[in-house]
């Protein structure tokens, strides 16, 4: 599964990425964005199956 994680805080993203790789090893590929301007490009390039979004990032 390909996941796109979107949050302003890179520390939060790193924690979520660690959790997913620890409990779902080899089953999850993760791309991370820390700004709303990166999202469109990441979706087109990475083509994620699911997106985990911190709603606070949307202005």
The pLDDT of residue 59 = 78
* pLDDT at 7 (0 to 100): 94
| Contact status, residue 13 vs residue 5, Cβ threshold 8 Å | yes
Give pLDDT, residue 10.
94
pLDDT of residue 24: 87
Structural domain of residue 24, as residue ranges? Answer: 2-57
Instruction: List the chain residues with pLDDT less than 70.
Output: none
What's the structural domain count of the chain? Answer: 1
Q: How many helices (H) and strands (E) does the chain have?
A: 2, 3
* pTM of the full structure: 0.87
Based on its alpha-carbon atoms, the radius of gyration of the chain, rounded to whole angstroms, reads: 11
């Amino acid at each position: 599964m390909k996941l796109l994680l979107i949050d302003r805080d890179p520390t939060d993203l790193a924690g979520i990425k660690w959790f997913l790789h620890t409990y779902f090893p080899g089953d999850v590929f993760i791309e991370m964005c820390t700004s709303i301007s990166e999202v469109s490009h990441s979706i087109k390039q990475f083509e994620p199956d699911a997106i985990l979004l911190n709603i606070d990032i949307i202005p």
